[in-house]
Amino acid sequence: MERPRINGASRTEISPDLSSRERECILWVARGKSSWDIGHILGISDNTVNFHIKNAMRKLEVSSRTVAAVKALNSGIIEL
């Protein structure tokens, strides 16, 4: 079953090129993890996690990590 689209947007219309680490960090954000938690899971510092999340937010053209996770889920960039 396909997810409903926001404003009729298709998966290809909202598909910025996130790096694998950016996708990984946003996936953990979508799962409710803090930067500290994500850092421990991935073996990187929370500052590095924030760097990747901010890059993903910029590429997704959003202003919060939660909205980045929702947009990435809705556009098929990540899956839970």
Answer yes or no: are the C-beta atoms of 30 and 69 closer than 8 Å: yes
Question: What percent of the chain is modeled with pLDDT above 90?
Answer: 80
* Contact of 46 with 36, CB cutoff 8 Å: yes
Amino acid code (one letter) for 11: R
Task: Encode pLDDT of 14-41 as tens digits.
Answer: 568 999 999 999 999 999 999 999 999 9
Helices (H), the chain: 20-30, 35-42, 46-60, 65-74
In the predicted model, is pLDDT for residue 6 greater than 70? no
- Ordered structural domains, the chain, with CATH: 17-74 (1.10.10.10)
pLDDT at 16: 80
